[in-house]
Amino acid sequence: MKLKKIGILSLGYAAAIFAFLSALFQVLGMTIASKIPLASNLIDPTLASFLQGKTLAIMLVITPIVAIIAGFIGGVLMAAIYNWIVVPISGGIKLELEDHKKR
């Protein structure tokens, strides 16, 4: 069985969700690293001073939003490239699936 087409919007939505979750972990990690004295020594002093107060709050909001937009655009582009360039050249990705009803 070969994968001949990927739903462009469905991959865009999925990529946006994964990018959002990744951004949440990044923001969480940077927030923790900026608040814990031992971890804050590992961060560049310029970045550590940036990650305080109002700029930290702005980063907590902006980073996930930008990640959602970038993830969606990236997912749409990947699906379109796969459908319109990769499949005609290679014939698609070979998949081996198992039917669970036969068990």
Listed in order, strand segments (DSSP E) in 1-103 are 2-3, 93-94
- The per-residue pLDDT for 2 is 87
> 52 lies in which domain range?
2-102
Does residue 88 carry a pLDDT above 90?
A: yes
* Overall pTM > 0.75: yes
Query: What is the CB neighbour count within 10 angstroms for residue 62?
Result: 13
Per-residue pLDDT tens over the stretch 33-87: 777 766 666 667 776 677 677 777 788 889 999 999 999 999 999 999 999 999 9
Which neighbouring-strand residues pair with 94? 2
Total domains present in the chain: 1
